[in-house]
Amino acid sequence: MNGIVFYKTADLALTKKFYGEVLELPLWLDQQSCAIYKSGNQLIGFCQAEEAETQGTITFLLSSRCEVDAAFSKFRDIATSDPKPNPVYAIYHFWAADPEGRKLEFQCFEHQLQPFLNLDEGLMQRRSIRKYLSEPVPDELLKQVFELCRYSPTANNRQSYYYIVIKNKEIVKQIVSLRGPAGEPLLAAPYAIAIAARGDLSRRKIQDACIAAYHLLLAAKAFSLGTCWVTDMDRDEVKELIGIAKDDYIACLTPIGFPAERFELPKRHEVDSFVRFV
Ligand SMILES: Cc1cc2nc3c(=O)[nH]c(=O)nc-3n(C[C@H](O)[C@H](O)[C@H](O)COP(=O)(O)O)c2cc1C
């Protein structure tokens, strides 16, 4: 079940200005006397009333300290505290307030969480990450990521794709030395993953492998892990190093780890420039 939390507001116009223009939340539904905003997986509604309801806390959940710090820089004017860790809950957060005095909190958890991003957010927030914390990714977590990879589509449902987790840094170094500077992000993370598809199983190994690779990038994002598509890996030397059959196709390698950087979205084309209706 999905849901909406409603608050009464004594000044809907002011509240709309704040949530829409200051926080830049998309207006999910405008019902004239009520406005419902979407913030990730939460829908927050405000309805015009005599008196405002200001109890409780509206918490905006972010993925990492970098994200909380970035939110603090952006919303400094409405902040009521500096960002700081709270070891009791293993969180990092700061407080703010809306114009009617509701308590707002911008927070990340500093421990592993089950996925909480919506599909649209995952698609919008995945970035190529090239700096990582040294902390290794637990195998259990990787297994959860690969569990989502089972849903990758393949031609005729042949499921020709497979993943090789490379934990041996020496092997990664050798691959990077073959690939050159563009491959260096592979060395920045605790592990690298090769995504490939079997040539003996599918005539669509290239498509299967590429989709499986992007599926992994998105599945990793769901668990707040960083990745970066590193290409030009379908080479015999790479196959030999990690035991991949010559006839198989390597879509790419990706580093995988906990991100140590945050990227703004690089400039993207407007929809009109790449969609045609015939
Ligand atoms: C086919 C392909 C090849 C890429 N090759 C590399 C690469 O070799 N090294 C690298 O650091 N990034 C590589 N990238 C990542 C792109 O630079 C990145 O996707 C692009 O700049 C957009 O940034 P974003 O992924 O954060 O949206 C590649 C991406 C794709 C789709």
What pLDDT sits at residue 40?
87
pLDDT category of residue 210 using cuts at 50, 70 and 90: very high
pLDDT at 252 over 80: yes
Q: 176: burial class by Cβ within 10 Å (0-12, 13-18, 19+)?
A: buried
pLDDT at 209 over 80: yes
Q: What's the 228 CA to ligand 1 centre distance in angstroms?
A: 6
Closest listed residue to residue 133, CA positions, set 263, 224, 257, 262: 257
Grouping H, G, I as helix, E, B as strand and the rest as coil, residue 211 is: helix
113-131 average pLDDT score: 91
pLDDT at 64 over 90: no
Q: What's the 131 CA to ligand 1 centre distance in angstroms?
A: 14
Q: Which helix (H) or strand (E) holds 25?
A: none
Nearest CA to ligand 1 atom 31: 229
Q: What's the 227 CA to ligand 1 centre distance in angstroms?
A: 10
Mutate to test the pocket of ligand 1, among 231, 232, 233 (most ligand atoms within 8 A of CB): 231
Is the distance from CB of 149 to CB of 212 less than 8 angstroms? yes
Which domains can be identified in the chain, with CATH numbers? 4-109 (3.10.180.10), 127-256 (3.40.109.10)
Q: What is the mean pLDDT of the chain?
A: 96
pLDDT category of residue 18 using cuts at 50, 70 and 90: very high
Q: 68: burial class by Cβ within 10 Å (0-12, 13-18, 19+)?
A: buried
Nearest CA to ligand 1 atom 3: 231
What pLDDT sits at residue 264?
78
pLDDT category of residue 265 using cuts at 50, 70 and 90: confident
Largest Cα–Cα distance in the chain? 72
Q: Interior CA angle at 65 toward 64 and 69, to 5°? A: 125
pLDDT at 263 over 80: no
How many CB atoms neighbour CB 105 within 10 A? 15
Nearest CA to ligand 1 atom 26: 127
What pLDDT sits at residue 17?
98
What pLDDT sits at residue 117?
87
Query: Which tokens go with 46?
Result: 């405000």
Cα distances from 235 to residues 178, 202, 232, 239, in angstroms, run 9, 19, 7, 6
Q: What's the 128 CA to ligand 1 centre distance in angstroms?
A: 6
Report which ligand 1 atom has the smallest distance to the Cα of 179: 8
pLDDT at 61 over 90: yes
Query: What single DSSP character describes residue 230?
Result: B
